[in-house]
Amino acid sequence: MFTEFNELLPPFGDKSVTDKSQIWIIGTREQVLHTINEFYVKRIANDRVKFTPIIPAPFEGKYMSVLVR
């Protein structure tokens, strides 16, 4: 059974976007923007370009952005 699942995994070293680690930030627009700035200042993200644009989240009144590392 495990062999069947392992065959579905991409080859080791494949660097597609889905294989990279992601940090999802969900909150009010101000919270998301503050967290993006905080990650940049603390050098968790070395460039703000690595964040997706702030978009409405599927939760009422919430927004989201994703950091792809």
Contacts of 17 (CB under 8 A, 6+ apart): 68
- For residue 25, the cross-strand partners are 65
Better-scored residue on pLDDT, 19 or 3: 19
Q: Is 50 exposed, middle or buried (0-12, 13-18, 19+ CB in 10 A)?
A: middle
Mean pLDDT of 28-57: 94
Q: Which amino acid does the sequence have at 51? A: F
Mean pLDDT of 38-52: 93
H-assigned helices in the chain: 2-8, 29-41
Q: What is the pLDDT of residue 68?
A: 87
